[in-house]
Structure formats: C-alpha cells, structure tokens
Amino acid sequence: MTRASSRAQIHGWLLLLPAAVLLALFTHYPVLATLWHSFHSTPRGSRPADWVGLENYRALVEDPVFWQVLGNNLWFAAGTIPASIALAMLMAIWVNGKITGRGFLRLAYFVPTVLPMIAVANIWLFFYTPTYGLLEQFTVGLLGLPSHNWLGTKSTVLSCLMVVTIWKEAGFFMIFYLAALQAIPPSLGEAAAIEGAGRWYCFRRVTFPLLMPTTLFVLVNAVINSFRLVDHIVVMTRGGPDNASSLLLYYIYDVGFKFWDSAYASALTMVLLAILAAAAILQFALLERRIHYQ
Amino acid sequence: MRKVLLLVVAALIALPASAQEISFYYPVAVGGPIAKIIDGFAADFEKENPGIKIKPIYSGTYQESIVKALTAHKSGEPPVISVLLSTDMFTLIDEDAITPWDAVATTADDQQWIKSFYPAFMENSQTGGKTWGIPFQRSTIVLYWNKEAFKEAGLDPNRAPATWKEMAEYAQKLTRHDASGKTTQWGVEVPSSGFPYWLFQGFTTPNNVVLMNKDGNTTYYDNPAVIEALQYWVDLAQKQKVMPPGVIEWGTTPKDFFERKVAMMWTTTGNLTNVRANAKFDFGVAMLPANKRRGSPTGGGNFYLFKKSTPQQQAAALKFVKWVTSPRHAAEWGIATGYVAVRPDAWDTPEMKKYVEGFPAAAVARDQLQYSVAELSTHDNQRVTKALNDGLQAALTGGKSPADALKEAQREADRILRPYRK
Amino acid sequence: MTRALETIGAWLLAILWILPLAYAFWTAFHPPEFATRFDLSAPLTLQNFANAWNAAPFARYFVNTVLLVTLILGAQLVLATLAAYAFARYEFYGRDVMFALVLVQLMIMPDVLIVENYRTMAALNLTDTIAAIGLPYVASAFGIFLLRQTFKTIPRELDEAARVEGAGPLRVLWEVYVPLSRPVYIAYALVSVSYHWNNFLWPLIVTNTVGSRPLTVGLQVFSSSDQGIDWSIITAATLMTSGPLLVAFLLFQRQFVQSFMRAGIR
C-alpha cells in the first residue's frame, strides 16, 4: 500500500466510518454533552435549562451523600480488585495443574460469570438473612456464634457486597490467566526446577512476571467493573442502610432516574468519568514499564 | 375495476370507527396471578364496550412504574392511564404529565362517582381543589400476630396489643432465648429497608402528628412528637431488645414470620393472601396499636390520566376506570389481591360480605380507614422521602440519635422544598 | 503434604463458589416450605417452574434476549472487523488519533453514560426498542482492539498473494484475514454474548414494555414484590433464564478456554 495514496485514505476512512460514527454518538458525544449539561440547571416541565456555571459542582461538594458514596466506591474498588485478581490467579494455577477433579473445579469457578447478577443477588440475599439464612445456619447453628444483621448494619453491608462481587468476578478473570498459563512454555518451569528452585520461588520469579500482561488486562477490567456493576445493590440493599452500600453509578441512577435531576446527575457522571480516566492513565503509565513481554 | 373500488370504499365506510386503544402501565406489588386478573378485567370490559381496546402493560414495582411512566412521557409515547403510587401526585403535576380527572368527569354521575371513595384514600388523590388520582389498589399497614406463639407465651391468643405499652409488654414476653443467650424468637419486627418512612407513619399517626402539609411543600420531621415516635421505634430494638437491631429487610419479614423467627410483624394488608397461604399456624390481623389515638398511613396506587392523550382516549379511559372501580369489580379486586376495596359500597356486595364472613381478618384494614391519614407526599417526593429514609435508617442502626437524625432530615427537606413555597 | 492441603483448599473454594447455584437447584425443585430447610426427604416438585412461567411472559423475554444478543454480536463483528482492518493495514491521516479515541471506550463504557445516552435515545425516538439497548454497544473498542492486534500478526505475504490473484481489499479481508482470526472471533463472541445476556442497568432504563424487555429486566421486575421474597419462584425463574448459558458453557468448556488461549488475550 503506497503511503498516503488517496485511494488508501478514502478506503481507510470508509472502513472506519460505521464504527467511528457510533462511537462518536454513544461515547464521545455523551462525554461532552455530560460536561455541557453539568453546567446547566435541570429542565422541569415547561422551564428550560439555564446556565448555572459551577453551581452543580458546588452542590456536589456540599452533598454528604456524594462523599459517602465516593468513599464507598473507593473502598469497594480497593476491596474487590486485588482480591478477585489474586483469587483468579490462584484458581488458574490450581486448575492448570494436575489436581483431582480439575473439570469440576473449573466449572465451579466459572459458573458465577454465566449467571446474571440480578438473579443471584436474590440468592445471596437469602445467604445473608439473619438466623435462617445459609450463612447463619452455619455460623449460628453450627458454630454457635451470635446472630448478626449482615445487610442491615452499616459496618458490614459493604463488605458483604464485596464478597458477592469477588465471587462473580474471579472466575471470569481465571479464564484469562488460564489461557496465559497454558501459553507459558513448560521448559521455563523445568529449567527452574533443575536449578533447585522451590514452587514459590518459581512462581514469584518466573510465572508472575510472565503473567503481567494478563494482569494488566484483568486489572483494567476489574477497575471498570468496580464502578460499573451495581445490579446487586438494586436487589439487595437499594443503597441502604443510610447510603452505606450505595456506589457512585447507583447514586447517579437514583438522581437521574428517580429524582429526575439530570443536571446534578451529569455533574456526578463527570466525577465518575474523571476517576475512570485517571485510573486508565495511571495504569498505562505506571504498569507499562513493569510488563515483561515474552 | 371502478365497481370493485366503490365496493371497497363502501365497505370501509360501513366499518365501525377504529377502536380506541387505551394503554396503561400497572405495577405488581403483591404476588399472585395479578397479571391474569388485570387481563381478565381488560377482556371483560372490552366485551361490554366494543370499540375500546385496553392494553395493560405490566411495568414492575411502583418505583419502576413511575420511572417508566415518566420516561415514556418525556420521550413522547406515554400510556393513556397508569396505576402509580398515590404519593407520586405532586411529581407528576410538576412534570406536567397528568391532567385532573375533573376535566373529563364532568357529568353529575361522574361527580357522584368521585365522591364515592373512602375519604382516607382521597387525601393523597386531591390537591388544589382538583382530583388527580382515582384510588385503585390501596392498603394500610396492619399488625399480624402468631396466635400459637401468644399461647406459648401465656398471652390471650385472640387479643392483639392495643397500645404501645401493650405491644412492648407482649413483645417482651414473646422474645425467647436459648441456653446460650441467643434470641430464637423476636417479639416484633417493623421492617425498615427501602421505604421506612411508610412504616414510620405507623408510629407518628398514633402519636397524633402528621409529617407534611396538604400543599406538599413543608415537612415536619423535627416536630417533638415525631422524634418521640422514632424514639419508641428505636427503643424496641436497642433498649427493650424485642426487635432485631439494624435495618430489617422488608422482603424477608413475611418469611421471618412464617419461620416463627418473630411473633408479630407490621406489613401491608396486601400481604394478607400471602400470609394466609404460607403461615402454617393460626394467625390474627389487627389495627396498629394506638398511643394518643389509633392510626396508620394509607398506601398503594391510584389511576392517573396522562396529558398527552386525545379527548377520545380520555373519554374511553374514564369509562374503563369507572368500570374497574365499580362496587362489583372493586370487591373482586380486593378479594383477589388483599388490597382494601376502595369504596364503602364494595363492602356491601354479596361476594365481599361472604368473603369477610369466612375471613374476618380481611375487614381489619377497612375498619382502620377511619383512623387513617395520607401517606407522606410532597413535591420532589423521592428526594424528600429519601432524606427521611436515610435519617430513619441512621437512627435504627444506632449511628445517630433520633433527634439528630430527624433534625438533619428536616434541614435537607427544607432545602429541597424551599423553591416550591413561593 | 502441601499438595493435599492445596487440593482440599481448591475443593472447599469450589464448593463455596457453586453454593448459590446449588441452592438455586434445591429451592427451585422443592416446595416453598423447604426453601430454608434442607431436609433431604423433602418431595420434589415442578410447580415453582410453572408458577414462574405464568407470572411473567418469559417466552417473550427469551425471544427478546436472543434477538438482542445475536443482533449486537452480528453488528459488533462487522463493525469491528472493518475498523480493525482499516487500523491494521491502511495508512491515513488521523489514524493514530482515531485509534486513541477508540481506546477511550475501553475505559468509558456506555454503562456509565446512561443519563446522556438515554437523552439521545429519546431524541432519536428509539426508546423501548431492542435497537436502543444494543446501539451504544455495537461499536466495540474491545473488539476493534483485539482484531487489530490479530490482523497485524497475519503475514503480508498472504495478503499480497491474494492481491496477485486479483482480489480487491474486501475480498482479501474476507478470504485471508477473517478465517485466520477465527479463535479471536470465537473468544470475542463468547465474551460479548455473556456480557449482553446478563446486562441489566441500561436495558432497565431504556425499555418500558414487555415487547423489548430482556430476561434480566424481566427477572428483576418480577422478583421484587411488596409481598416479600419467595425464593422458590425466584430460583425457578433464575434457572430458566440462565439455563441456556449454563448448558452452553457445560458443553463447550474446553473450546471456551482454548479459544481464549489461541486468541492470545493476555
């Protein structure tokens, strides 16, 4: 293909056009529109939207629920991302090795991915129900520990939701790690064994660095998901008690589609977009250096 | 060829005018084959009124239904009528989505029809001298009690607690522990997840105080009587230890009752059929215990007429709503679902009389109507009630004192409602 | 010794992981009294499935979901293939800028832009249609990214050989690039199908009626009632709605993992 030949130019753009148009319409334009609308007031009935400058953002800063929700989401990310990635790696290593019942293990670990969150949230609601819920049938019935209102107490509700998320995510990430592990030539492991390296050493020095590209990929996914997945909140807690389990996207949904305050929802969305953008830059900048390519 | 054309034209002219199609969103808030009953109503009405087609659209919970109705209204294709929460009235007016029924219900017969509903239900249906909603599936909170558990605790199984003092006392006797000190049965459960403000009105009304004014632009969350009511509720769990601590999930409370994890529960009368089917013990239904007076908030949904509909559609919609709220059908609906039949003459129909004879518990909610008050409803309703919900949950989880929680909620509500007071 | 401990650990984790599904099976096939009681002598019943089926138009939800997932996947594959081909094999002004813009969608998915996208759909008069659910996702940055990477690894000799035979660019794409990227297509299809089968928030917002509602939304509106939670009927509905995906995964487990491996997603 000759460089910058006009035919190639036209063809290139034509091929790209459908995808580009849709991306512009549903990703790029909304980002800009959100910014625009966040500087206006919410139109109500016959009143149109007026320019209000930074007022929505001022309201945001003064809104204790926003800070609560933001804090929740950051804790949520911190709690679910490392855990689900570590667990996924562990699961992949187990399933990749010669462990008994490998097929069943792989199935069991992956099943949560196939079930819709909205469906399993109700089941988890049963698990967490005090006294006769599955968890308490074990802790109270068998172990004799005192009963606890897991989802109805501010201090435990977010952790309970984190467990549900980790349960849902780890199996999906496991598949990526499994594929990556199977691509690592066994000769590397054998060489390490000949040198007398233990399993942990082998993992730390050989396997883990080679899994870095997968880890980056999985990390991106995990970060996005920790801000994107709010289905379980809709079923299990509706953000309660007193916003202790509310996450940013759930609050945006409340504000935008329950209170119909679209301007404030736009301001909140800008915060979410800023966080995602920052996370993207951070990941690609920092981790880019530490990736070891085969 | 021309002959054929003429015949076709003649045939077309001879056809009756195309049917008016009335779409309506309805929520399913109680279980059971509700969709089938609604479809049955639609079919029966269509039989009696050829030329009108009823299209019921099942739209989820009350929350989801208001979202759907408003999104449909904003994007240009709203339903003609919808069953939505009675408390959504101000929101719908502010969004310019509905038109008052008085605009179409102009004949003397129509006016009589509007006056035929229980006044308690009309409180959330009228404002500014106009009728915006027609009661359809309405409820109140009632107290269900486990008669067997009462007997075991040495209480009269046929007598429910009538006052706050009695409820606390009975609950003490009903709370049981096992050898290691764990509670095996709680005395009472008042759910506090999702919409605790409604259950809270079951405490404020007996304490003779209301939470908002009729114009829907002022709330009284920090009134001392309101704080007192919350203190009583909080004490049940924290001081008297007869109620589980923390936020109690609405969805699992009936199951707790069936599992004998709790001996008394507060929940909607709409749960009557469910409890009857699933409680494997003798149970009773009673009005909420009184303090300074008896009382409960009303709840449930009204029919609303949407603005973006043609006059023909509105006339047809009026016909349908009048039909479905006629004494016979209101009784049918109440019997099938457990909702309170919305007009006094529905209770006098032979079917309803027979039903109440066989199941007296069904009449408790109706008897409570004379003491019932409007459900909390204001402009920007969702936000204003959320402020209260958050405060209630904060107090019930021990995070804030009732006074602090309610004062903060009031501050937030004032901020939201200020623009509506001009 | 550590091997034994590891095996036990792996098994315990697996049992924990499959517990919700196991519970769903138990509760769906037994009467409501046994939803919280695990009495092994309890009678089996299919009544819950009958009740669930009658309580909401699941048949219609199924049709909607299958249609939705298929249409989205089809459109995604076409658009991503064309765009990836452009990025991989063409030089044109603004190519790198465009690619960076595409990558934006990797982090900023339509899911977080619900408020604006809803407004757009309303303006286009598309609310409450299956198209509305799918359109924001049809241009998939993930797909474009994957396919571009794959196309770049295809040796140019094959490309040139086909051109020598007189093939135009689209024919080259169809006869050379697409067949050689099959594992990637399969892996991508699996991810896309399972994502969109289970997507909830956006379809909830953008659909109003049964005509366009997918299974997830149908399940949610049906399982949250004033009456309290009836786990028997909910688990029956859950099994019905996730059944196809579960069965598909059971049958195609191996291929699933292998296609990910061959796709070189790492």
**Residue A1: its pLDDT value, please?**
46
Find the mean pLDDT for residues C156-175.
86
User: Same domain for B233 and B98?
Assistant: no
- Fold of domain A64-290: MetI-like fold (1.10.3720)
User: Same domain for C2 and C92?
Assistant: no
DSSP A31-70: HHHHHHHTTBPPPBTTBPP-B-TTHHHHHHHH-HHHHHHH
Task: Look up the CATH number of the domain holding residue C66.
Answer: 1.10.3720.10
Contacts of C14 (CB under 8 A, 6+ apart): A101, A104, A105, A108, A109
> Is residue B191 reached through a cis peptide bond, with omega within 30 degrees of 0 on the bond before it?
no
- d(C-alpha B26, C-alpha B28), whole Å: 7
Geometric angle at alpha carbon A60, from A56 and A62, rounded to 5°: 120
| Percent of chain A scoring above 90 in pLDDT | 43
Tell me the chain A residues in contact with residue B246 when contact means C-beta distances shorter than 8 Å.
149, 152-153, 241
Q: How confident is the model at residue C249 (pLDDT cuts 50, 70, 90)?
A: confident
Helical ranges in B153-307 per DSSP H: 164-174, 196-204, 224-238, 253-258, 272-278
Q: How confident is the model at residue C76 (pLDDT cuts 50, 70, 90)?
A: very high
In a domain, B336, yes or no: yes
Measured on CA atoms in the order B144, B294, B349, B318, is the torsion positive or negative? negative
Q: What is the pLDDT of residues C115-125, one digit of tens each?
A: 899 889 888 88
**Residue B33: its pLDDT value, please?**
67
DSSP designation for B330? H
Q: Which two tokens stand for residue B342?
A: 């919305």
B77 contacts chain C (CB < 8 A): yes
Nearest CA in chain B to A47: B95
User: Same domain for B110 and B147?
Assistant: no
Residue corresponding to tokens 């069936």: B258
User: Same domain for B226 and B331?
Assistant: no
Domain boundary among B371, B393, B413: B371
Give the range with max mean pLDDT: A189-203, B212-226, C147-161: B212-226
* Domain total of chain B: 2
Residue corresponding to tokens 């995070």: B399
In a domain, C52, yes or no: no
Rg (CA), chain C: 23
Residues 310-339 of B with CB under 8 A from C: none
Q: What is the pLDDT of residues A42-61, one digit of tens each?
A: 887 667 888 988 999 999 99
- d(C-alpha B210, C-alpha B228), whole Å: 13
**Residue C221: its pLDDT value, please?**
64
User: Same domain for B401 and B255?
Assistant: yes
- d(C-alpha A230, C-alpha C112), whole Å: 11
In a domain, C50, yes or no: no
Task: Write the single-letter amino acid at C85.
Answer: Y
User: Same domain for B127 and B219?
Assistant: no
- d(C-alpha B14, C-alpha B9), whole Å: 9
DSSP designation for B340? B
ipTM of the modeled complex: 0.87
In a domain, B256, yes or no: yes
Give pLDDT < 50 ranges for chain B. Answer: 14-16
Task: Look up the CATH number of the domain holding residue B64.
Answer: 3.40.190.10
User: Same domain for C34 and C62?
Assistant: no
**Residue B149: its pLDDT value, please?**
95
Q: Which of B118, B342, B259 is nearest to C228 (CA)?
A: B259
Residue A152: which of B249, B380, B382 has the nearest Cβ? B249
Residue B309, Cα to own-chain centre: how many angstroms?
A: 26
Q: Which two tokens stand for residue B331?
A: 């009784």
Which residue segment(s) compose the domain that B180 sits in? 140-298+375-421
Burial of B47 (0-12, 13-18, 19+ CB in 10 A): exposed
Tell me the chain C residues in contact with residue B64 when contact means C-beta distances shorter than 8 Å.
204, 221
Contact by Cβ (8 Å): B205, B297: yes
In a domain, B13, yes or no: no
**Residue C42: its pLDDT value, please?**
83
DSSP designation for A101? T
**Residue A60: its pLDDT value, please?**
94
Determine whether the interchain pair B75/C220 forms a contact, defined as Cβ–Cβ distance below 8 Å.
no
In a domain, C33, yes or no: yes
**Residue A6: its pLDDT value, please?**
83
User: Same domain for C11 and C92?
Assistant: no
- Backbone angle region of B241, left / alpha / beta, with phi > 0 → left and psi within -120 to 50 → alpha: left
**Residue B18: its pLDDT value, please?**
61
Determine whether the interchain pair C221/B60 forms a contact, defined as Cβ–Cβ distance below 8 Å.
yes
- d(C-alpha B340, C-alpha B136), whole Å: 9
Tell me the chain B residues in contact with residue C35 when contact means C-beta distances shorter than 8 Å.
255
- In this prediction the pTM is 0.88
- Backbone angle region of B309, left / alpha / beta, with phi > 0 → left and psi within -120 to 50 → alpha: beta
Q: How confident is the model at residue A198 (pLDDT cuts 50, 70, 90)?
A: confident
Read off φ and ψ for residue B84, nearest 5 degrees: -130, 165
Determine whether the interchain pair B271/C228 forms a contact, defined as Cβ–Cβ distance below 8 Å.
yes
- d(C-alpha B29, C-alpha B270), whole Å: 8
* Domain total of chain C: 2
Residue A125: which of C93, C229, C260 has the nearest Cβ? C229
User: What is chain C's mean pLDDT, rounded?
Assistant: 86
Which residue segment(s) compose the domain that C22 sits in? 1-45
Tell me the chain C residues in contact with residue A132 when contact means C-beta distances shorter than 8 Å.
36
Strands B298-306 and B98-99: antiparallel
**Residue A194: its pLDDT value, please?**
75
User: Same domain for B380 and B358?
Assistant: no
Chain A: residues touching B (Cβ < 8 Å) = 44-46, 65, 125, 129-132, 140, 144, 146-147, 149, 151-154, 237-238, 240-243, 254, 257-261
- d(C-alpha A229, C-alpha A76), whole Å: 11
Weakest-pLDDT range from B81-90, C58-67, C226-235: C226-235
Contact by Cβ (8 Å): B80, B305: yes
In a domain, C161, yes or no: yes
User: By three-state DSSP, how is residue B422 classified?
Assistant: coil
Measured on CA atoms in the order B315, B317, B320, B326, is the torsion positive or negative? negative
Measure the CA dihedral B121/B123/B129/B133, to 10°.
-40
